[in-house]
Structure 1
Amino acid sequence: MLAEYLEGNIRFLPSVDSWEEGIKKAADPLLHNGSITPQYIEDMIGNVNTNGPYIVIVPGIAMPHAKNDGSVVKTSVSYLKLEEPVKFPKDKEVHTFFVLAAEDSTGHLDLISDLSSILIEDEIKNKLEESKSEQEILEVLKMVE
């Protein structure tokens, strides 16, 4: 299911200037395909400003998301991988972003569950980190779905 959502929404960049820019760049594909509005990006950044870097779910990987207050048009996921990590508050370094946008809380929980089950497996997490193309990422995810 995750690979299906990510198709066409995967990006690679050398670096970003801030964690806020990281969230914006990671969410760009969803904004451009009409899955989210600009307000959703602001809501994700606001969550970190209010609640701290709780979206850094495992070392190096952040899962930005926010409650849908009308800013998610359709459930979707995007992926951004940075060559150089960016620092979040509390000096948490992140090089991989999975942006989650869910129309409702049920879809949100399903996506978080799927992603979490992938990231707790070190072998899968390492393969994702070594991937250098959208195709490689999708192949890794399809192996475990």
Structure 2
Amino acid sequence: MSKFRKKKKGVPAVNTAALPDIVFMLLFFFMVTTTMRETSLQIEAPRLPSATEVKKLEHKSLVTTIYVGKAKDAKYGTSFNRIQLNDKIATADQVPAFIINARSKVSEAEVPFMTTSIKADKESSVGTITDIRLKLRDVNALKISYSASKAAAN
């Protein structure tokens, strides 16, 4: 028997010294490339009406939002019937073009799943919302969601 035995060499451990650098690089990449909000509100934040039953929308990427409320800038008037499409104040006649533009940005297979969400201030007139609904009907955008806040339980 020999006094000196040869030690078996195993697989060396994985070096994890560069792992924190990689994690922080990915973190900064996603922080820089991610956009949090695509539109800035030109109308005051709508005070949504309350509802007893509220359901969250699925497929948020397929939701097109129309805001109705009072414009922040006084040059558009002081009524609660201003319509915002993307980043500008618009009229109900511009809604069909807005929907057609939104449809062109998604694939043909996803068009039937698109939803139009109307976020209207509770003081907005029903006439304005009806005008929007009629224009949506003209372009066959029949899937409409009305945004509301959940009513407090008494």
TM-score by length of 2: 0.29
Question: Rg: which structure is higher?
Answer: 2
Greater share of residues in strand? 1
Greater share of residues in helix? 1
TM-score by length of 1: 0.30
